[in-house]
Chain A
Amino acid sequence: MGDDHTITRRLALAGIGAALVPACKREWLPPEADPTSRSQIKPYVPGAEDYATYEERWFASSCAQCAAACGIRVRVVEGRAVRIEGNPANPLNRGGIGARGMSGLQALYDPDRIAGPLLRIGGRLVPISWDDALSTLAKALADVRGRAPEQLLVISGRERGFTHELLARLARAFGTPNFVDGSPGHTAPLAHAMEQAVGVREAPAYGWSHASAIFSLEAGLLEDSCRSIYFARVAAAMRRDSARRARLIHAGPVFDLAAYNADRWLQLRPGTSGALALGVCHVLLREGTYDRGLVDRARGLTEFRALVVGFTPERTAELTGLPAAAIVELAHELWDRRPVLAVVDERSLAFSNAVETAGAAIALSALLGAIENGDGGLRLAPEPPLAPWPEIVIDEVARRALETPRLDGATRAPYGASRAVLDTLPAAILARPPSVALLYHANPVYARAQPRRWREALEAIPLVVSFSPYVDETVAEVADLVLPDHTYLERVEDATPAPGLPRAVAGIRRPVVAPLHDTRATADVIIELAHRLGKPIARAFSWPTARDAFEQRWLGLHAAARGTIVEASPRAFLERLYEAGFWADVDDASPRAVEFTFSPTWAPPHWDGEPARFPLALLPYRPLGYAEGSGANQPWLRSLRSRPGLADWTVAASIAPHDAPPGIKDGDLLRVISPYGALVLPAHLDRRMASGCVAIPTGGGHTAFGRWARNVGVNVMELLSATPASDTGASLLCTTRVRVEAA
């Protein structure tokens, strides 16, 4: 009995051993099938075959995730982009890069990207070929041109860049005046104020080499601004690397990152930073401590003095909520620390008094001797010497059509100083719908004030074309034809930065990977369309491809024979340009002589909504990582906390505890009601919040834009009054009053 059992046991063990031997011998399984390997098997990607396995290459290019256009280096392994880092050689960012820059990988590899052209048939978007898509559009455009060219509406969501310029060129050659720069809210008021002051219509650059203070006038310096990377670098360098440690003084209503980083935070009422600037000017003029050189030669000084005399510290204290003594102290400190960077940006100018505030800030810089001063302050943004494209010759059809009044009412009263006005468009479109609309880098059915109006308006247009690479709200709900663009890591393009460094920099973008999908660069699509439309439009687009068009501009840099790339032959120059990722002047621009004009105006911010029914001021803000508002499909950006104390992946209403309805605790749901809509979202009780305000970040409440954009908060744009700034027609974020209730 016992022997039998022993034999059985031994056989059993041998059997188990034998069964295990083949298993343990690790037969070859294709790695994809081997569940234990976790060897990061990556699906085939176009272009991988040009690489040896595991081969690594680096490419220099420029970021396109915000208008700063920082220089980047991209690590590509086997045809896949796996890392984006800052380019240490690029003077804009010197190797630093922000969260948004690195999230470019998620923009490229978004799993919900549009894979090819789409046409709306029977209510659904259906894939079609490029040839069919372009024929459809060319036919529609030819038809419009035959009837009434002004019936083409083009909305471009960029402010600068060759693709944006090609769209403008198309609009002009075609003969439509309705080319709408879709982001006038960004720099139009500041550019206008600069034009009034120094005659150059462009936002200023900032020199800082010997400045020992940054005075932020409600600027979203380290968050919202497209110069946030630049300022992070500059502020850090000014603190540690200069002989006299610089101070950051931030005046603003909310405890945001600028307030957190400031050496001194002056909490003032929203929209009153212009008054503060004028109050400081008052003290400087009264005490005779101001830079005489520029000021005594300036125009409008008498009127300016007349305005400023009323901004006594006491009156300024009433307007801003700051103590009068603090204002005097501030004036002394700024004078003592000159030159000073007095900064206003998109957040400072989100109020109806945008131009007045900008004017006051620039005037303050003038008094402090910080205009075109080599040691620091506002500088005229130098432009790289790009060659121009050939002039367009427009035919009679275009000439006549270009004279028709613009749909958006720009350049005419009351928006006399505007180039484009977005907020008037929905009503204008409904009144006289254009036949075709081209939307480039624009998602108005989400991102503009009162998105529902935009949906209605765009639905009235028979053919709405979007170039978006993603299914955003505009594509999902109203677009009839989608011609998806490459992402910026797949295309050749320029990267002209928003003004920041007082040095000319011309960045470029180049493909770092083969296109992942059947997409095409919008610039190439525009040129192809122009060719299909035939003369006379095609004559304005005589280049075979966009790359040829761009290289024609870049050869201006070659001809200038200066800067970081100097080569004898154009071919060699372009090769080195692609390799370097940018061209720049070697030094900061030398200061130029300027004639300064003071503009003596002031207005308090205007708020839409009766104060009795809507007692609180709504302060929507673009949170950290949201720059222009896109990026909802990039989960790394969702991991950023919008403000100190806020959680990630949420949209909350920040409010002072005494302004919240009784019984509301942190995290409880709040209903925020404006004259235009209502939203429910969690409350964030912030004891540092200014009285009488509610702050809500943009970027939440997406109903499209892919899997990562869902489930995150509400869209504050639904609450906003769509009242543009007078004069410049800029879109403004902070013009609406609300009330709050427990939800």
Chain B
Amino acid sequence: MNRALVCLLVLAACKRAPSIPEQPIAFNHALHLTVELDGKRLGCVVCHAGAERAEHAGLPALRDCLRCHMRPQLGTSGKPNPREAEVRALAASGPLRWTQITRNPGHVYASHRAHVGIAKIPCEECHGDVATWTSPPTEPIQKLRHMDACLSCHRQRGASTSCGTCHR
């Protein structure tokens, strides 16, 4: 009986998550956040256009990448980055389809407009220190995996905890 339980424990611990498919472009946030355009750092909304004004921040379409990468961009070393050519290759070969990692259930309404646009919560607070990401995230946002996390913050700030505010 005890051995059976031990086996159960071992099996349970061995249970692994399925591997996450790769993104079409291994986007490097850290690198892009060091880039300056007209003396200003690239803001999150340059690519995630809905971050302040829409419900979803959104993942960029290929045209957003091509705004800069249509012509080869030289890095700090002064030499072209071979990985960057992948973007132009993608433009020729086919659609850019991101694998969405974080996706709320359909009945959840978590509006960037309310959190970022109105409450002015900085992106890093929920998404983590994006400036250190050198490759795309491989896990959904852990902080927001459960309703308790949302509720505790809402209660702290005096935001609505009425069911209908977040569920639809």
Residues of A participating in the B interface, judged by any CB pair closer than 8 Å: 7-8, 11-12, 14-15, 18-19, 21-23, 26-31, 36-40, 44, 48-56
Judged by a CB distance under 8 angstroms, whether B79 is at the interface is no
> B54 to nearest A CB, angstroms?
7
State whether B97 touches A44 (Cβ < 8 A).
yes
Judged by a CB distance under 8 angstroms, whether B8 is at the interface is yes
Judged by a CB distance under 8 angstroms, whether B140 is at the interface is yes
State whether B9 touches A18 (Cβ < 8 A).
yes
A452 to B103 Cα, complex, angstroms:
54
A266 to B17 Cα, complex, angstroms:
74
State whether B105 touches A8 (Cβ < 8 A).
no
State whether B17 touches A27 (Cβ < 8 A).
yes
> B150 to nearest A CB, angstroms?
15
> A75 to nearest B CB, angstroms?
13
State whether A52 touches B5 (Cβ < 8 A).
no
State whether A40 touches B12 (Cβ < 8 A).
no
A404 to B106 Cα, complex, angstroms:
64
A37 to B60 Cα, complex, angstroms:
23
State whether A49 touches B54 (Cβ < 8 A).
no
Q: Indicate which residue in B9, B64, B105, B138 contacts A52 across the interface (CB closer than 8 Å).
A: B64
- With A48-B95, A54-B55: A28-B101 Cβ-Cβ less than 8 Å: yes
Judged by a CB distance under 8 angstroms, whether B37 is at the interface is no
State whether B96 touches A49 (Cβ < 8 A).
yes
A55 to B59 Cα, complex, angstroms:
9
- With A27-B18, A49-B62: A55-B107 Cβ-Cβ less than 8 Å: no
A36 to B54 Cα, complex, angstroms:
25
- With A14-B9, A15-B5, A53-B56: A28-B61 Cβ-Cβ less than 8 Å: no
Report how many A-B pairs have Cβ atoms within 8 Å. 86
State whether B12 touches A52 (Cβ < 8 A).
no
Contacts of B1 in A (CB 8 A): 8
- Nearest first, the 7 A-B pairs at minimum CB distance are A49-B95, A27-B17, A54-B56, A19-B12, A39-B106, A53-B59, A38-B106
Contacts of A30 in B (CB 8 A): 18, 21, 99
State whether A40 touches B58 (Cβ < 8 A).
no
State whether A37 touches B103 (Cβ < 8 A).
yes
Question: 12 A–B contact pairs at CB < 8 A?
Answer: A11-B5, A12-B5, A23-B15, A28-B18, A28-B140, A31-B103, A38-B107, A39-B104, A49-B96, A51-B61, A54-B55, A55-B49
State whether B13 touches A18 (Cβ < 8 A).
yes
Judged by a CB distance under 8 angstroms, whether B98 is at the interface is yes
Within B10-69, which residues are at the interface with A (CB < 8 Å)?
12-13, 15, 17-18, 20-21, 49-50, 54-56, 58-64
A7 to B3 Cα, complex, angstroms:
12
Select from chain A the residue with minimum beta-carbon distance to B7.
A15
> A207 to nearest B CB, angstroms?
44
A147 to B50 Cα, complex, angstroms:
63
A29 to B104 Cα, complex, angstroms:
12
- With A54-B55, A54-B58: A15-B18 Cβ-Cβ less than 8 Å: no
Contacts of A22 in B (CB 8 A): 12-13, 15
Judged by a CB distance under 8 angstroms, whether B152 is at the interface is no
State whether B17 touches A53 (Cβ < 8 A).
no
Contacts of B60 in A (CB 8 A): 52
Most interface-central of B5, B58, B64 (chain A CB within 10 A): B5
Select from chain A the residue with minimum beta-carbon distance to B15.
A22
Contacts of A55 in B (CB 8 A): 49-50, 58, 61
- With A49-B97, A50-B61: A39-B105 Cβ-Cβ less than 8 Å: yes
> A45 to nearest B CB, angstroms?
11
- With A15-B5, A54-B54: A26-B145 Cβ-Cβ less than 8 Å: yes
> B35 to nearest A CB, angstroms?
20
Judged by a CB distance under 8 angstroms, whether B139 is at the interface is yes
State whether B140 touches A52 (Cβ < 8 A).
no
> B128 to nearest A CB, angstroms?
16
> B107 to nearest A CB, angstroms?
7
State whether B62 touches A15 (Cβ < 8 A).
no
Contacts of B139 in A (CB 8 A): 28
- With A39-B105, A48-B95, A49-B97: A54-B140 Cβ-Cβ less than 8 Å: no
Contacts of A54 in B (CB 8 A): 50, 54-56, 58
Q: Indicate which residue in A8, A15, A27, A31 contacts B8 across the interface (CB closer than 8 Å).
A: A15
Judged by a CB distance under 8 angstroms, whether B156 is at the interface is no
Judged by a CB distance under 8 angstroms, whether B2 is at the interface is yes
Judged by a CB distance under 8 angstroms, whether B81 is at the interface is no
Judged by a CB distance under 8 angstroms, whether B100 is at the interface is yes
A28 to B140 Cα, complex, angstroms:
7
> A58 to nearest B CB, angstroms?
14
Contacts of A8 in B (CB 8 A): 1-2, 5
State whether A56 touches B17 (Cβ < 8 A).
no
State whether A29 touches B15 (Cβ < 8 A).
no
Contacts of B54 in A (CB 8 A): 54, 56
Select from chain A the residue with minimum beta-carbon distance to B13.
A18
Q: Indicate which residue in B2, B21, B95, B105 contacts A37 across the interface (CB closer than 8 Å).
A: B105
State whether B12 touches A15 (Cβ < 8 A).
yes
State whether B17 touches A28 (Cβ < 8 A).
yes
Select from chain B the residue with minimum beta-carbon distance to A39.
B106
A29 to B101 Cα, complex, angstroms:
9
Contacts of A7 in B (CB 8 A): 2
Contacts of A23 in B (CB 8 A): 15
Q: Indicate which residue in A19, A21, A39 contacts B103 across the interface (CB closer than 8 Å).
A: A39
Contacts of A53 in B (CB 8 A): 56, 58-59, 98, 100
State whether A11 touches B105 (Cβ < 8 A).
no
Select from chain A the residue with minimum beta-carbon distance to B49.
A52
Q: Indicate which residue in A11, A37, A52 contacts B106 across the interface (CB closer than 8 Å).
A: A37
A205 to B106 Cα, complex, angstroms:
48
Contacts of A19 in B (CB 8 A): 8-9, 12
> B51 to nearest A CB, angstroms?
11
> B144 to nearest A CB, angstroms?
11
A36 to B105 Cα, complex, angstroms:
7
State whether B58 touches A52 (Cβ < 8 A).
yes
State whether B9 touches A15 (Cβ < 8 A).
yes
> A198 to nearest B CB, angstroms?
54
A441 to B103 Cα, complex, angstroms:
43
State whether B49 touches A50 (Cβ < 8 A).
no
State whether A49 touches B18 (Cβ < 8 A).
no
Please, what's the 1-or-0 string for B77-102, where 1 marks a CB less than 8 Å from any CB in chain A? 00000000000000000011111110
Most interface-central of A23, A36, A40, A52 (chain B CB within 10 A): A52
State whether A28 touches B20 (Cβ < 8 A).
yes
A586 to B1 Cα, complex, angstroms:
88
Within B135-153, which residues are at the interface with A (CB < 8 Å)?
138-140, 145
- Given A22-B13, A30-B99, A53-B56, 20 new contacts (CB under 8 A): A8-B2, A15-B12, A18-B8, A18-B13, A19-B9, A23-B15, A37-B103, A37-B106, A44-B97, A49-B61, A49-B97, A51-B61, A52-B50, A52-B58, A52-B59, A53-B59, A54-B55, A54-B56, A55-B50, A55-B61
Contacts of B12 in A (CB 8 A): 15, 18-19, 21-22
A550 to B138 Cα, complex, angstroms:
50
> A44 to nearest B CB, angstroms?
7
A28 to B145 Cα, complex, angstroms:
11
State whether A38 touches B61 (Cβ < 8 A).
no
A363 to B138 Cα, complex, angstroms:
78
A28 to B20 Cα, complex, angstroms:
8
A23 to B12 Cα, complex, angstroms:
9
> A649 to nearest B CB, angstroms?
28
A86 to B117 Cα, complex, angstroms:
30
A38 to B98 Cα, complex, angstroms:
20
Contacts of B21 in A (CB 8 A): 30
Q: Indicate which residue in B2, B20, B62 contacts A11 across the interface (CB closer than 8 Å).
A: B2
A26 to B143 Cα, complex, angstroms:
12
